[in-house]
Amino acid sequence: MKLLIDKVMQEGIVLDNEVLKVDSFLNHQMDPVLMQEIGREFARLFAGQSITKVLTIESSGIAPGIMTALALNVRLIFARKRKSLTLTEDIFVEKVYSFTKQETNEITVSRKFLAPGDKVLIVDDFLANGEAAFGLARIVEQAGAEVAGIGIVIEKSFQPGRRVLTKAGYRVESLVRVASLAGGKIELV
């Protein structure tokens, strides 16, 4: 996706040689035209998979997730990182270690939104160690539903996420693959 690659190269800021800050178009300010293109691209990549739901995690996964759900004409569910006071019903819970916050969060999804027979596309903004995607996949499997694939906006290919998810049998499609952030320089695969 040229539009996304250009944004990453022009606006991405490297922190600590392994974290990419993209708050001008993805993680704080958001670019809706770019998000729409991202959603269309995931819909194209996973066309023909009979996807019934898109699943992401709050908050940065919601924008690419909703655009993907729109393009696939299905609904989006976002896992919550904090237990909501209004979330009184039965929930699926998984523990996820956050790469950027260096803490473990319990992520939750209401049981009423996932069921056996669902084919779920997981979408997230970044892939580092694969913790978030794995936690979401475990929730899909707790529900007896199927993971159709994992769509990632920016993959850091120098971290193990893709390898561990692929080894576990999941199809991973990343729109941008970053080979290295060493020396403060963004290099793509």
Binding mask 104-133 toward ligand 5GP (x if CB under 6 A, else -) reads --------------------xxxxxxxxx-
Residue 53, exposed/middle/buried by CB under 10 A (0-12, 13-18, 19+)? buried
Length of the chain: 189
Residue 19 makes contact with ligand 5GP by CB under 6 A? yes
- Residue 131, annotated as binding a ligand: yes
CB 53 within 8 A of CB 66: no
Smallest distance from the beta carbon of 147 to ligand 5GP, in angstroms?
15
CB 14 within 8 A of CB 185: yes
Residue of the chain from 8, 43, 60, 162 that contacts ligand 5GP (CB under 6 A): 60
Residue 41 makes contact with ligand 5GP by CB under 6 A? no
Amino acid at 87: L
Residues that bind ligand 5GP (CB under 6 A): 19-22, 27, 60, 99-100, 124-132, 156, 161
